[in-house]
């Protein structure tokens, strides 16, 4: 999702050393020789740039060093190196580094086809998610799980932290399919911010499949539901070009809602999702009070790059605000997004993209747009989801691992 440009207020991110890690991801357990069910089997490996151990080794190398037989790579949106722009089709081919064939699950098809799985015994899934439904790796998980079930393959998830933690649950559930058709950004069940790791999501989805997969999850060690990314001690490897820091991951479920408008969400700058604005906003000062966030006036000019070739307001000076995370533990990103949209929609020059259809597609329900157009307050909009959140916390319990 992005690339650099000039930015008035840049957020300085101090990397956390892997030596300080308190969490072992599922891949670390493979490296330690604790995972025996993969021995002697032909593996298809679903990976990207963030598929690394706590000491920075890529999953391909870790599995090969463990004498496991990796015969094929499968890659999600943004490709094996996580460099392709959002929505950019990625071709299948051959990885020049490992020499392994690569099947793109964001090119001609998004669900593994029978020929993609031919000759495999196990599909191993090791992607870093973002904890929000419209971040497409959770859809890749669901479709790959279904494909493995249909092909009779084992499906093994090497679990990783939800960067938003396991307690934060926010936003609406999806509308029925006759209201909002199925798409690659609305496959995951539960609220928009679901509070599951991808291993837990696989467990939840698998229990409802007509033909469940032979699923196993290699759990993390040391991860607790209260942890956001900064608590794990793990280095942040961007899982996509625009999600460049743990801070951006916290803001993402809220600031990304601006994608449904003619306000820039910061693509084409050094800090996407941590800055927003537009040329027509002038000197913007919003009085917004949302737990865990602070907004400060900013001026920026989006520029083109391979990861953001066609960002909003390319080469135009934008006025807006920089988003700073004051407390990752208490931050409420969806509340931030809703609060911003309530404030911004009254500004002269504001527009909903595709007359609001873009927002509905993103969040999976028309209710949010309807609420904005009816002039409801942020609190009224948020209150409407509370009963669904309580129901989700109950129904997800059997899938929880931590």
Count of CB atoms situated within 10 Å of the CB of 101: 15
Nearest to 146 by CA among 95, 193, 201, 206: 206
So what's the pLDDT on residue 13? 34
The enclosing H or E element of 367 equals helix 367-373
So what's the pLDDT on residue 205? 98
Count of CB atoms situated within 10 Å of the CB of 386: 10
So what's the pLDDT on residue 106? 97
Nearest to 272 by CA among 306, 245, 305: 245
So what's the pLDDT on residue 2? 31
Calculate what percentage of the chain has a pLDDT beyond 90: 92
Mean pLDDT, to the nearest integer, of 94-101? 97
Count of CB atoms situated within 10 Å of the CB of 167: 14
Q: Which residues pair with 293 in a beta bridge?
A: 325
pTM of the model: 0.93
Please tell me the distance from the alpha carbon of residue 164 to that of residue 138, in angstroms, as a whole number. Answer: 14
What's the pLDDT tens digit per position in 269-289?
999 999 999 999 988 778 889
Mean pLDDT estimate for the chain: 94
Q: Phi first, then psi: give them for residue 382, nearest 5 degrees.
A: -70, -35
Please tell me the distance from the alpha carbon of residue 219 to that of residue 76, in angstroms, as a whole number. Answer: 22
Helix, strand, or coil here: 96?
Answer: coil
The CATH code of domain 6-11+240-365 reads: 3.90.1150.140
Give the pair of three-digit tokens for residue 88.
């950019």
Block residue for tokens 């559930």:
173
So what's the pLDDT on residue 282? 86
- Strand order of the β-sheet with 154-158 is 93-94, 101-104, 69-75, 42-46, 122-125, 154-158, 214-218
So what's the pLDDT on residue 28? 98
So what's the pLDDT on residue 9? 28
Least confident of 54-68, 122-136, 299-313: 299-313
Residue 80 has pLDDT above 50, yes or no: yes
Mean pLDDT, to the nearest integer, of 306-314? 91
What's the pLDDT tens digit per position in 4-20?
222 222 233 333 344 47
What's the pLDDT tens digit per position in 213-223?
999 999 999 99
**CA 271 remoteness from chain centre:** 16
pLDDT range class, residue 325, cuts 50, 70, 90? very high
Give the pair of three-digit tokens for residue 93.
């081919």
CATH topology of domain 18-235: Rossmann fold (3.40.50)
Please state the domain extents for the chain.
Answer: 6-11+240-365, 18-235
So what's the pLDDT on residue 143? 98
Mean pLDDT, to the nearest integer, of 47-61? 98
The answer for residues whose C-beta is within 8 angstroms of residue 178's C-beta and 6 or more apart is none
Q: Which residues pair with 218 in a beta bridge?
A: 158
The answer for residues whose C-beta is within 8 angstroms of residue 179's C-beta and 6 or more apart is 365, 366
Q: Which residues pair with 295 in a beta bridge?
A: 323
CA angle 47, 64, 40 (to 5 degrees): 100
What's the pLDDT tens digit per position in 228-242?
999 999 999 999 999
Mean pLDDT, to the nearest integer, of 190-212? 97
pLDDT range class, residue 307, cuts 50, 70, 90? confident
Mean pLDDT, to the nearest integer, of 368-386? 98
């Amino acid at each position: 999702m992005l690339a650099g440009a000039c930015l008035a207020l840049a957020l300085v991110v101090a990397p956390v050393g892997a030596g300080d890690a308190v969490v072992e991801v599922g891949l670390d357990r493979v490296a330690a020789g604790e995972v025996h069910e993969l021995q002697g089997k032909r593996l298809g490996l679903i990976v990207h740039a963030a598929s690394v151990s706590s000491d920075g080794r890529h999953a391909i190398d870790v599995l090969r060093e463990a004498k496991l037989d990796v015969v094929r790579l499968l890659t999600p949106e943004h490709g094996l190196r996580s460099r392709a722009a959002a929505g950019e089709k990625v071709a299948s081919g051959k990885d020049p580094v490992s020499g392994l064939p690569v099947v793109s699950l964001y090119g001609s098809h998004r669900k593994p086809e029978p020929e993609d799985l031919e000759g495999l015994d196990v599909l191993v899934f090791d992607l870093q998610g973002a904890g929000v439904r419209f971040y497409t790796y959770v859809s890749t998980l669901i479709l790959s799980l279904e494909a493995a079930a249909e092909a009779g393959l084992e499906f093994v998830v090497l679990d990783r932290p939800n960067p938003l933690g396991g307690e934060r649950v926010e936003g609406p559930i999806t509308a029925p399919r006759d209201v909002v058709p199925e798409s690659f950004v609305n496959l995951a069940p539960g609220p928009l911010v679901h509070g599951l790791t991808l291993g837990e999501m696989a467990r939840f989805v698998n229990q409802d499949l007509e033909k469940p997969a032979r699923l196993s999850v290699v759990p993390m060690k040391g991860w607790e539901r209260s942890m956001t990314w900064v608590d794990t001690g793990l280095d942040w490897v961007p899982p996509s070009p625009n999600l460049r820091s743990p801070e951006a991951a916290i803001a993402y479920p809220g600031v990304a809602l601006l994608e449904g408008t003619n306000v820039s969400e910061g693509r084409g700058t050094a800090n996407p999702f941590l800055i927003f604005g537009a040329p027509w906003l002038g000197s913007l000062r919003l009085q917004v009070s949302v737990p865990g966030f602070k907004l400060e006036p900013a001026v920026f000019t989006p520029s083109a790059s391979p990861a953001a070739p066609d960002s909003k307001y390319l080469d135009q000076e934008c006025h807006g605000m920089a988003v700073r995370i004051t407390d990752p533990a208490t931050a409420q990103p969806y509340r931030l997004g809703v609060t911003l949209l309530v404030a911004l929609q009254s500004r002269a020059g504001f527009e909903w993209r595709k007359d609001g259809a873009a927002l509905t597609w993103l969040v999976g329900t028309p209710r949010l747009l309807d609420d904005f157009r009816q002039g409801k307050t942020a609190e009224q909009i948020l209150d409407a989801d509370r009963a669904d959140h309580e129901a989700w916390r109950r129904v997800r319990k059997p899938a929880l691992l931590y």
